[in-house]
Amino acid sequence: YRALVLLVISCPCALVISVPLGYFGGIGAASRKGILVKGGNVLDALRDIKTVAFDKTGTLTRGVFEVSRILPREGVEEKEVLHAAALAESRSNHPIARSILQAAGMQYILEKVETHEVSGKGVAARHKSGDILAGSAAFLKEHGIAVPEPDAPGTVVYVARNGAYLGLILVSDILRPESAQAVRDLHDMGIAKVAMLTGDRRSGAAWVAEALKVDEVRAELLPEDKVAALESFGPKEQTMFVGDGINDAPVLAGAGVGVAMGGLGAQAAVEIADAVILDDSPARAADLIRIGARTRAIVWQNIVMSIGIKAVVMILGIVGLAGLWEAVFADVGVALLAVLNAARTARG
């Protein structure tokens, strides 16, 4: 009889059911918030996060640019700068390229032009009107072209043709309305550092950083520099990166937890990331960390509860104080309690 009692108690149902169920619940809670989490291990990894780094363009900002000003070199017309830029950008699907085509007119995508896009820098193009470069200051400097620094804020696209500087186009982006709250929430929940990584020029990044009160800004980064920047913030397991995947797929893969923007994000980024934010709101980063912590807490409660109750009833069984009814409670009863507790994770 005692052997039977012990046999019933020692059935590990509660443990076996409740742990995966807790993670399923966590994944369900996340999906209700519009976050696709790719596995229970991701929810677990969130516990160690100390630094959260955001990409700027498309993540903290809307990533929908508009041409705000064109500043040609002396003797060059605005139209000429825009025309050259549109030719170069006609094959790119970078948000900056789209804004330039929008301003110039879509007919440029019909032109015969050979383009070579350098991720995080710009585009080099060959057209019958000449060899065109459109991109960052660093990109033109690489090709031996000196460029002026405008004192207007915003992102700059420098344009050159046949090795001569033509002018620059200022494109502006706006902050996502949720970004400031996202940074505040992360600070409030005890994240040590909120950083921003961007390929944009320093002054294009500074106003965003100031408006959002992020702790650290790294600007003028190429995709591979972003990986190094993230590594400099601490061990991989303690870092989370949130990005739209345009020029930042490598760092999504290199972060402890990589989170991609699902709406705006590139296909490759969505595949590489550990979690995907479907509504593109950066505020989901804090939600995700919160859900991870809650899931873990509930899973541990279940482990401690089921082993604890089983141990107590087992001792009572050995000394003859617990019979089959108590054993059945320690098995099925505890399993049910664990399932009910695990279901709480799903409610977020």
Residue 273 binds which entry of Mg ion, ligand ADP, none, with Cβ cut-offs from 5 to 8 Å by kind?
none
Closest distance between ligand ADP and the C-beta of residue 42, in Å?
23
Among 97, 168, 246, 314, binds Mg ion (CB under 5 A): 246
Closest distance between ligand ADP and the C-beta of residue 69, in Å?
15
Provide the 10 A C-beta neighbour count for residue 193.
17
Q: Which of 55, 185, 200, 287 is catalytic?
A: 55
Name the residue nearer to ligand ADP (CB basis): 76 or 197: 197
Closest distance between ligand ADP and the C-beta of residue 128, in Å?
21
Closest distance between Mg ion and the C-beta of residue 95, in Å?
8
Name the residue nearer to Mg ion (CB basis): 214 or 335: 214
3-state secondary structure the chain: CHHHHHHHHCCCHHHHHHHHHHHHHHHHHHHHCCEEECCHHHHHHHHHCCEEEEEHHHHHECCCCEEEEEEECCCCCHHHHHHHHHHHHCCCCCHHHHHHHHHHCHHHHHCCCEEEEECCCEEEEEECCEEEEEECHHHHHHCCCCCCCCCCCCEEEEEEECCEEEEEEEEECCECCCHHHHHHHHHHCCCCEEEEECCCCHHHHHHHHHHHCCCEEECCCCHHHHHHHHHHCCCHHHEEEEECCCCCHHHHHHCCEEEEECCCCCHHHHHHCCEEECCCCCCHHHHHHHHHHHHHHHHHHHHHHHHHHHHHHHHHHHCCCCCHHHHHHHHHHHHHHHHHHHHHHHCC
Closest distance between Mg ion and the C-beta of residue 243, in Å?
6
Residue 51 binds which entry of ligand ADP, Mg ion, none, with Cβ cut-offs from 5 to 8 Å by kind?
none
Closest distance between ligand ADP and the C-beta of residue 119, in Å?
7
Name the residue nearer to Mg ion (CB basis): 10 or 93: 93
Is residue 229 part of the contact set for ligand ADP (CB under 6 A)?
no
Is residue 57 part of the contact set for ligand ADP (CB under 6 A)?
yes
| Inter-residue contact 67 to 270 (CB < 8 Å) | no
- CA of 229: how far to CAs of 225, 254, 288, in Å? 6, 11, 23
The residues in 87-126 that bind ligand ADP, with binding defined as CB under 6 A, are: 89, 92, 94, 96-97, 117, 120-123
Amino acid at 274: D
Residues 189 and 282: their CA atoms lie apart, in Å, by 15
Residue 92 binds which entry of Mg ion, ligand ADP, none, with Cβ cut-offs from 5 to 8 Å by kind?
ligand ADP
> For ligand ADP, how many residues bind (rule: CB under 6 A)?
24
Residue 48 among the catalytic residues = no
Residue 136 binds which entry of ligand ADP, Mg ion, none, with Cβ cut-offs from 5 to 8 Å by kind?
ligand ADP
The residues in 161-220 that bind ligand ADP, with binding defined as CB under 6 A, are: 198-200
Residue 326 binds which entry of ligand ADP, Mg ion, none, with Cβ cut-offs from 5 to 8 Å by kind?
none
> For Mg ion, how many residues bind (rule: CB under 5 A)?
5
Residue 80 binds which entry of Mg ion, ligand ADP, none, with Cβ cut-offs from 5 to 8 Å by kind?
none
Instruction: Please identify every residue annotated as catalytic.
Output: 55
Give residues in contact with Mg ion (CB under 5 A): 55, 57-58, 244, 246
Give residues in contact with ligand ADP (CB under 6 A): 55-58, 89, 92, 94, 96-97, 117, 120-123, 134-136, 155, 157, 198-200, 246-247
